Structure 1
Amino acid sequence: MKFSLVICTYMRPQSLIELLNSVEDQTVYPDEIIIVDGSRDNRTKQVLGQNNFRNLYYHMVDDKDRGLTRQRNYGIGKTADDIDVVCFLDDDIILEKTYFEELIKTYDLHKDALGVGGYIINEIKWHKVEADSYKASRGEYFYDGFKRKDGSRFVLRKRLGLDTDVPPACFPEFGHGRSVSFLPPSNKVYEVEQFMGGVSSYRKEVFDKIGFSHYFEGYGLYEDADFCFRLHKLGKQYVNTAARCEHHHHPSGRPDKFKYGKMVVLNGWYVWRVRHPNPSFKARFKWNFISWLLTAIRFLNIVTTAKPKEAFMEALGRTSGWFKLIFKKPKTANAEQV
């Protein structure tokens, strides 16, 4: 298979170079690397000019194409005609040597795959459990022979009977599911409904039918879930936990906590309705109840964390987003093609 790597970047030249160095070490190398730079200075262009990466094509975009979803659509348009798979990586990712080998192999193993996600290994500590009959405590999460510490939010939700009723990386009718990070490092391939856009890939043919939505401007929180849920209506998607990488969260380019909290609620509602356009009354109640529960936890974090101001501003943002839903809900794009 011939595949392209599209990297959308913004004001992170050093992180980008570290990613490209890990791409250079791959056992299987991209047929083209397309850099879509939304930076407001020339530092990224200058740093790339000081290096010599194979098959690399650089594009700087202006305001009309700036922002994650717009830059991704721009990058897709620059791929060669004979490309089979388009891969996307965030610019603060570092790959293990066999990342692309394992990722592309998945399309051969699963001929029906329209998209395949990679697997981030440095954010969660998992433990292998030998006993098949292992019973996780309330403070643990157990899946497919592995356990990890469960988040306090999920522990509380379990106490209230509000935990998800579907596997990780799938989306229950009431939303608020467990993400890809709840899939264990088993080296297995799992069928999913969503995966992270920063370590994603898709057959190029899917972009003849759908693209990344313009609803998600700038930082684009949950834009990857939106795309996956629309793709889910067309065919199957997988995560290969052997396609491993590390995510080194770079602080630049991220929104302030008030805006982030507002996006969590508004964009969260949006993608929920893309996946489940007509949820039952019970599902609606649970979505709203969990949203308020998570907001209350962020207010509580004002006195329980070392960053009380951040917790307060995010909680205010979540509250603002929820009240905005009362008066003006976003128009979901179930039929949207861009």
Structure 2
Amino acid sequence: MNFSIIIPTYKRPDDLKKCLESILVQTVVPLEVIVVDNADYFKTGQLINNSFDIFVENGINLKYIKNGNSNSANIARNIGASNSIGDILLFIDDDIILDKDFIKEIMSVYKTYPNAIGVQGFILNKKVSRFVDFIHKIFCLTHNKKNNNKLLPSIQDVYAYPLTKIVNCQWIMSGCTGYKKQFFQKFKFDENMYKYCSGDDVDLSYRIYKEYPQSLYQTPFAKVIHTTSSIGRVPKKELIYTMQVYHTYLFYKLIDQKLTNKLLFGWSRVGYVLTKLGIFCLKPSKSNFLLVKNLIASYFYCITHLNSLKKGDISFFTESIMKNKF
């Protein structure tokens, strides 16, 4: 069993450097590391050139692929997958720092559970609030639950936290996760999604789950730190619209369109705006006001384009964000 690490990156050479350094100290080294540059950024290329020799010395092939300026993590991941030679594809975000035993522990799950297709690591520095979890649970929004990782009909997810054992999942993240390469003949990341691909991890993993139940796992022993870099992020207004458009798109793509599920999705959208309105009431500020305003506007934007979203056509939105209209 050998591993190909695939890292999509966008103008984050400092974060990428820390990520690469954490790969070099792995107790089980990968066969190769493939960095796919979504920005064709000079400093990223310079970092790879300066790192090449030390990776070779450690028996790791370091590849650098330029993806022009399309800026889609999903496209970058698919490019990395098609250029890989490993049995297991480890998709790592560029602002992730791996524990030295990360690959070893991912490998352990594959050996223990031969049916495993996807295996996710565990983020150590995830911030959790019991009060926020309680409110989010009421509105079918993303929340945490001990040893439970599933997707809600509202296209929001339950995250396994705390995690005390290896568990089966309905969905897994794309930032610290391995997939068996053989399944990339059939499943790929959705290339309709650009820039901040909100929901990309749910999309791929849940499609796999629906066809191969009990094939996705999360382990608490493959630990990572997510530094959540502020570099390369989209503007707040664009982020709000992206989340609502992509979540609506994925709701129609992934979820059974029965009445109860539609009601739960609508309830979650009401709940989301109410939680943000509550924050504005507690902490009045221009930024919190604009958040609520843009969120409501994004709902009307989705309603205006609902027929396209139902058909799986989000080209109207892609054109807008690639031209920075938000």
1:319 positional shift: 1.6
- Give the Cα separation in 2 of the matches to 1:219 and 1:190: 28
The one-letter code matched in structure 2 to 1:59 is I
Identity %: 24
Q: Residue by residue, what CA displacement relative to the aligned partner does 1:299-337 show, whole Å, maximum 9, x if unpaired?
A: 33234348x34433332332223223323221466xxxx
Q: 1:28 to 1:164 in 2, by over 3 A?
A: closer
Aligned to 1:61: 67
1:292-303 to 2 correspondence within 5 Å?
A: 292-303=270-281
The one-letter code matched in structure 1 to 2:106 is L
Q: Residue by residue, what CA displacement relative to the aligned partner does 1:151-180 show, whole Å, maximum 9, x if unpaired?
A: 42x32355679998997321233443323x
The one-letter code matched in structure 1 to 2:189 is F
- Give the Cα separation in 1 of the matches to 2:255 and 2:91: 26
2:92 is aligned, of 65, 89, 92, to 89
* Greater share of helix: 2
Aligned to 1:34: 34
Aligned to 1:2: 2
Q: Residue by residue, what CA displacement relative to the aligned partner does 1:138-163 show, whole Å, maximum 9, x if unpaired?
A: xxxxxxxxxxx4242x3235567999
- Give the Cα separation in 1 of the matches to 2:141 and 2:37: 42
- Give the Cα separation in 2 of the matches to 1:241 and 1:275: 27
- Give the Cα separation in 2 of the matches to 1:165 and 1:39: 34
- Give the Cα separation in 1 of the matches to 2:139 and 2:266: 14
Q: 1:24 to 1:332 in 2, by over 3 A?
A: farther
Aligned to 1:285: 263
1:1-338 to 2 correspondence within 5 Å?
A: 1-51=1-51, 52-53=54-55, 54-64=60-70, 66-80=71-85, 83-124=86-127, 149-152=129-132, 154-157=133-136, 168-179=148-159, 182-186=160-164, 188-235=165-212, 236-278=215-257, 280-305=258-283, 308-329=285-306, 330-331=309-310
RMSD: 2.5
Q: Conserved in 1, the CA contact under 8 Å of 2:140 and 2:152?
A: no
Report the TM-score when normalising by structure 1. 0.82
Q: Residue by residue, what CA displacement relative to the aligned partner does 1:229-265 show, whole Å, maximum 9, x if unpaired?
A: 1111231211111110000011111112212122222
Q: 1:165 to 1:77 in 2, by over 3 A?
A: closer
- Give the Cα separation in 1 of the matches to 2:131 and 2:252: 25
Q: Conserved in 1, the CA contact under 8 Å of 2:139 and 2:267?
A: no
Structure 1, unaligned runs of 5 or more: 126-148, 334-338
Which moves more between the two structures, 311-320 or 224-233?
Answer: 311-320
Count of residue pairs the alignment pairs up: 302
Q: Residue by residue, what CA displacement relative to the aligned partner does 1:173-214 show, whole Å, maximum 9, x if unpaired?
A: 3443323xx33241x211001111111110001110021112
- Give the Cα separation in 2 of the matches to 1:15 and 1:163: 27
Q: Secondary structure at the match of 1:273?
A: helix
Q: Conserved in 2, the CA contact under 8 Å of 1:230 and 1:274?
A: no
Which moves more between the two structures, 216-225 or 296-305?
Answer: 296-305
Q: 1:87 to 1:332 in 2, by over 3 A?
A: farther
